[in-house]
Amino acid sequence: MPLPLAPLIPLAIRLGVVATTTFALTRLIQSASHPGRTDQRAEDALDDLGEGLSLHRPADRSEQTNASARLRRVIRFRGRAYEVDAGLMARFRLRERPE
């Protein structure tokens, strides 16, 4: 007895369209993004941050505000322990530019 494959054609077409679209979007996103880099100086600066939130302005630059934050916690879940170490350093500078 032959197996009727005609009812599976619409499903195969839909799955093919989804797979092709996913592949195309993945390639587009990968080509538009850059690989990034790891700067050891930045890694060391993040390691030296104190825990908590800090917001300050340097004495010699009144138009600049610096912020830093660090959170270190150990989370236990289902008998496993995970260490979370999140650090953030930011600078916001607003300057007027002559036209």
pLDDT one-digit tens code per residue, 63-99 = 888 899 999 999 999 999 999 999 998 888 888 888 8
Residue (of 72, 74, 76) closest to 86 by Cα position: 72
Average of per-residue pLDDT values in the chain: 90
- Mean pLDDT value across residues 8-26: 95
Which residue has tokens 């499903």? 11
